[in-house]
Structure 1
Amino acid sequence: MISVKAPGKLYIAGEYAVVETGFPAIIVALDQFVTVTIRSADQIGSIVSSQYQENSIYWRREEGEMVFDNRDNPFHYILSAIKVTEDYAKTVGKDLGIYHLTVESDLDSKDGRKYGLGSSAAVTVATIKALCEFYALPVDHDKLFKLAAIAHFHVQGNGSLGDIAASVYGGWIAYRSFDRDWLKLAEKSYNFAELLDMDWPGLDIELLTPPKSLKLLVGWTGSPASTSHLVDRVALNKAKRQQAYQDFLNNSQACLKRMIAGFRSQDLHAIQTEIAINRKLLNELDQFTHAHIETPLLTKLCDIAEEFGGIAKTSGAGGGDCGIAIIDSHKQLNQLIEKWAANQIIPLSFNVHHVKE
């Protein structure tokens, strides 16, 4: 039996700008996981997820292809991950097998609501990791990222794939997205082995080390949000306000460069200053895209954090989900957390997860 896990993530800064090729964001991997288990099977395989127990699917293999008994299923990311990995396996001469694949997830609340930790990315990464082990495929972090990015992009069609990078590399990362239009063309021109070995235009991933005094606090609003829907809404409105959008991109890029420099120099104050600037830039973006990025409860989360000496903002696409606060670990953390809880903001006791080489 093979069992692997992949962590969820939270965006720290650079949201929305990161969907454009080469524009930076900072993302962190958290110690909440998707676990994928694979057991070899004889003639009938299965895919089972604790999230979709009533929709478990069974499959067999005919002439090398997976054939499903269920027409409608919610396993799109898992199936895309399987297809991409098995296409790669075929290019290196592996025979395809039959297996039972099981998915367990920590990335939702007990009542099934999503925290916004990138569960679709984590399940994609974990499925590919497990299948690479099952088929004994040569894969390092860079190849795993590329396989998972391809699989995820085939389903979602938008987004930066930064959540894939966080799930693969772990810890704190500075991420710049690759050119997605280039990938669409490259898939038609190169085989998998070539695609995994080449440099992808615009892609840059740097591991960051935070200052020792930096404490990351996460608060959840209890209201799930759709990243794809919000990114689409910004994309629709940016065409109408091209100059304002370009100003947002340029200002976000400058802000993130200064923030990354703050990580490199271990300067907590510099990081906090840029977090505040990034929050302001996202609110300016909201004014002309009407995406409703910072909800009233997220504003309350930020205001409370500032009362206790922290700097806070929305995390990810906003519209609900989580907010993050960056604060000196010597400050009154318990009082901040208690005031969040008193204002319908659920503190999440998650920690940063580092992936082993």
Structure 2
Amino acid sequence: MIKKIKVSAPGKLMLLGEHAVVYHRPCLVAAISQRLFLEGEKIPENKIFISAPEMGIFDFAVSPFDLEKEQPKEVKFILEAIKNFFRKYKVESGLKIKTKSQFSAEYGFGSSSAVSVCTIKALAELFQIKMGKKEIFDLAYKTVLDIQKVGSGFDVAAAVYGGILYFLTGGKIIQPLKVKKIPLIVGYTGKKASTSEIVKRVKSEMEKNPDYYENLFDQIEKIVEKAKSEIENENWKEVGRLMLENQKILRKFKTPSKKYGVSSPTIEKLIRASLEAGAYGAKLSGAGRGDCIIALGKEKEKVEKAIKKAGGFPLSVKIDFEGLKIENKI
């Protein structure tokens, strides 16, 4: 019987297809080498203890009977995942959970999804319940939706499967691409974006003008389909061009900014700097307005230097091909 388990899952970066993926179009997402680690342990006391130092949480305690109550945002995803697991498998126990992350929640690398995935995997091992990747995805996706109310699940898929994925809303298709490298360059804008807030604003705008947005999403879908084969062929110049096309469409959104869409002056400045330094293409990654930009190109150092000079923060990011994994068990 397993008493203690340590698991980890990668963060994510959206490559192409953000926003459209919420409306039943495909996207391309990459799992990244920065990981979130979670240790889980069954304890005899009927309490759940959580330590998440990066989030400023030390020995937070809650009774399993209080899981229905509103919880602090720093522990929400862990407790919602525990509640969903307990309900689904009709089990219960006291627990000790500790998390450690290699990336800041500020970057928009999908820490909420990674911690949900890790919690469910740790519980499956502790309670000796066999769960396949898709079952873990489904329960973690439900957890994220229960809290955020919106989302397509691509970040959950990246945390479970790893690699570069062709993904369709809700996990209807989760297909790993046959590629082992990508000349990716990442820059943080210095501003944290609220994904759920931006997605809700786009939804509200779309309801007023559905035809306009459906047309934009159709264009994004065509770009994603082309980019899928170009990535597998490692035709990076063409992928870069498609990234720029995708960015152009994201600027046509009428919210949050009439001038920049879901982009921003900072994002545009970092994209420009990347292109001038020799990148094949660049775009925002994720909901927009902040978080990260991504660029493609062989001149990594030159582009990173340009991002820094333009006021951004270059991040050392590699693609993770392992996905969710067990680090050790006792």
TM-score with structure 2 length normalisation? 0.89
1:54: how far off? 4.8
1:84 aligned partner, one-letter code: N
Deviations 1:210-257 (A, max 9, x none): 475x30000001110000010011111112222211110111111111
Would you say the 8 A contact 1:302–1:313 is kept in 2?
A: yes
**Greater RCO, 1 or 2 (C-alpha within 8 Å, sep 6+):** 2
Structure 1 residue 137 corresponds to structure 2 residue 133: no
Aligned partners of 1:72 and 1:205: how far apart in 2? 32
Paired letter, 1:346 = F
What corresponds to 1:78 in structure 2?
Answer: 78
**Structure 1 counterpart of 2:271, from 284, 289, 302:** 302
The separation in 2 between residues aligned to 1:158 and 1:54, in whole angstroms, is: 26
Aligned counterpart, 1:187: none
Which of residues 320, 338, 352 is equivalent to 2:305? Answer: 338
Amino acid at match of 1:97: S
Task: Name the SS of the counterpart of 1:66 in structure 2.
Answer: helix
Corresponding letter in the other structure for 1:66: F
1:103 to 80, 88, 99: 99
- Residue 12 of structure 1 and its aligned partner are, at CA, apart by 0.7
Question: Hey, what's the Cα distance between the residues in 1 that align with 2:82 and 2:265?
Answer: 40
Is 2:166 the counterpart of 1:156? Answer: no
CA distance in 1, matches of 2:227, 2:55: 40
In the alignment, residue 13 of structure 2 is paired with which amino acid? L
Alignment of 1:25-36 (within 5 A): 25-36=27-38
Change in 2 beyond 3 A, CA 1:36/1:265? same
Change (3 A) 1:54 1:205: closer
Tell me the CA shift for residue 167 of structure 1.
Answer: 0.7
Q: Secondary structure at the match of 2:251?
A: helix
Distance 1:177 1:127, change over 3 A: same
Deviation at 1:154, TM superposition (A): 0.9
Are the equivalent residues in 2 in contact too, given 1:211–1:263 (CA < 8 A)? no
Counterparts of 1:228 and 1:278, CA distance in 2: 21
RMSD: 2.1
Q: 1:277 to 1:317 in 2, by over 3 A?
A: same
Contact 1:55 1:73 in 2 (8 A): no
Cα distance in 1, alignment partners of residues 72 and 42 from structure 2: 22
Q: Which amino acid aligns with 1:96?
A: E
Give yes or no for contact 1:13–1:27 (8 Å, CA) kept in 2.
Answer: yes
The one-letter code sitting in structure 2 at the alignment partner of 1:26 is L
User: Letter of the aligned partner of 1:269 in structure 2?
Assistant: K
Structure 2 Cα separation of the partners of residues 123 and 73 of structure 1:
15
Q: Which amino acid aligns with 2:30?
A: V
Output the amino acid matched with 2:151: G
CA contact (8 A) 1:211 1:267 kept: no
- Tell me the residue number matched to 1:89: 89
* Counterpart selection for 2:289 from 298, 319, 341: 319
1:143-162 Cα deviation digits (max 9, x unpaired): 11111111111111101111
Q: CA offsets per residue over residues 140-183 of structure 1, 9 Å max, x none?
A: 211111111111111111011111011111111111103xxxxx
Output the amino acid matched with 1:102.
Answer: K
Partner of 1:182: none
Shift of 1:261: 1.8
Q: Report Cα offsets for 1:98-156 as digits up to 9, x if no partner.
A: 22111222221xxxx61110111111111111111111111121111111111111111
Q: Is the 8 A contact 1:241 1:288 kept in 2?
A: no
Matched residue, 1:50? 53
1:28–1:173 CA contact under 8 A, matched in 2: yes
2:6/2:37 contact within 8 Å kept: yes
Matches for 1:1-357 after TM superposition, within 5 Å: 1-21=4-24, 23-43=25-45, 44-54=47-57, 56-60=59-63, 65-67=64-66, 72-74=71-73, 75-90=75-90, 95-108=91-104, 114-178=106-170, 203-210=172-179, 212=181, 214-286=182-254, 290=258, 292-310=261-279, 311-327=281-297, 329=298, 332-355=299-322
**What SS does the corresponding residue of 1:209 show, helix, strand or coil?**
coil
The letter of the residue matching 1:42 is P
Q: Please tell me whether the aligned partners of residues 277 and 306 of structure 2 are also in contact (alpha carbons under 8 angstroms).
A: no
Q: Distance in 2 between matches of 1:338 and 1:268?
A: 21
Tell me which moved more, 222-231 or 298-307. 298-307
Q: Distance in 2 between matches of 1:59 and 1:3?
A: 21
Matched position secondary structure for 2:107? coil
Instruction: Mark the CA change 1:54 to 1:249 in structure 2 (over 3 Å): closer, same or farther.
Output: closer
- Mapped to 1, the partners of 2:115 and 2:71 lie a distance apart of 19
| Cα distance between partner residues in 1 of 2:208 and 2:307 | 38
Alpha-carbon shift at residue 55 of structure 1 (Å):
6.3
1:47-82, Cα deviation, whole Å (9 max, x unpaired): 22113435642234xxxx5347x9752221111111
The runs of 5 or more residues in structure 2 that have no matched partner are 326-330
Partner letter of residue 308 of structure 2?
A: A
| Structure 1 runs not aligned, ≥5 long | 179-199
